[in-house]
Amino acid sequence: MQLTISSATDLAVRILTRHGMSILPARQVADHLVDANLCGHEFSSLSRLTAIVQGMRGKNPGEIRVVRETPFSAQIDGGDHVAYVVSLHAIDKAIALCGKTGIAVVCANNTWFSGRLAYYVERAARQGFIALHTTNTTARVAPHGGIDRILGTNPFAIAFPGADDPLIIDIGTSSTSWGDVLLSKAKGEPLAPGVAVDIDGQPTLDPDAALEGAFLAWGGARGSGLSCAVHLLGILAGTPAVIPDVSNYGLFFLVINPDLIMPDGQYKARVSEFRRALSSSRPAPGAGPVRAPGDGSLQRRKRALEAGVVQVDGKVYTQLLALLV
């Protein structure tokens, strides 16, 4: 079914405030979820509201505050707020520091359940900066060769400013995400083969069995190794060695002004030149046009904004309305 952008945003805000979130952070979360939908990422869109509401139960968020700062860095205590909100504080702090010094590292902890990482790094790239963002998450992923949940889905994203749109790479290090599994459960659909095992380590297509068991790393040993790197950056932000529940994620942001190395906008021009080289390169036999990373999301957003609507699965919409009761 279709909802107007404003109606979808209003629905998300009403659900979040109904369950105790203040209006400003509720609007920030809603804008993020609707943008994910506009970009064509159903799993990280409005369906996430159910999990966010569940995560809010029993929490009493405090102040988001900077606890340590230098001219080049900052450490943020997220006050047990959802990371959709804390990440905005962190990336904006990194942008402000980078604007003064040319480079900034910002970490945050005491937060939970981050959203689509591209959302935050794009915010910096639109202001002319290179931005890298990682977060470790609840242990739901088995390391390569194992079946115990040790790693999170542990995504990372990096954005490069261009003369037009930024080039954005956003990758999860697990074969599936928690949001994808929850969406499959909500829609009554099986998982793709080879992405999860049950509690005994046997391959499963059942979302419930996968949630009890473990997801698998994307790319085998390579994805597992990358996930370990993301996790260790989260530990630098102040998380425990293993995150057993939906709490205390570690957010890591690195923001760089390319003018430090290549002044006068040269870097942005070359990023755009590189995008054009990718897009004009010859496709494989039978394949469509070659696209730069992130271009699909940017193009879908532009089309959706022109149409003024978002698409929501009927079963998901029914579940969202139940959250208002």
3-state secondary structure of 320: helix
Q: Which two tokens stand for residue 164?
A: 């037009």
CA 146 – CA 216 distance, rounded (Å)? 9
Structural domain boundaries in the chain: 2-58+299-322, 66-174+217-260
CA 310 – CA 119 distance, rounded (Å)? 17
Please check the confidence at residue 186 and state whether its pLDDT lies above 90.
no
Domain 66-174+217-260 adopts which CATH fold? Ribosomal Protein S8; Chain: A, domain 1 (3.30.1370)
Q: Which two tokens stand for residue 155?
A: 């995504």
Please check the confidence at residue 246 and state whether its pLDDT lies above 90.
no
Max Cα–Cα distance, the chain, nearest Å: 58
Helices (H), 140-215: 178-187, 207-212
Q: Which two tokens stand for residue 138?
A: 């609840």
Residue 12 is given by DSSP the state H
Q: For position 183, what pLDDT does the model report?
A: 86
58-74 mean pLDDT: 96
Residue 273 CB contacts under 8 Å (≥ 6 apart), including other chains:
none
Tell which residue, 91, 92, 90, has the closest CA to residue 110.
Answer: 90
What CATH architecture applies to the domain 2-58+299-322?
Orthogonal Bundle (1.10)
Condensed to tens digits (0 to 9), the pLDDT of residues 278-317 reads 999 999 999 999 999 999 999 999 999 999 999 999 999 9
Helices (H), 126-195: 178-187
220-227 mean pLDDT: 96
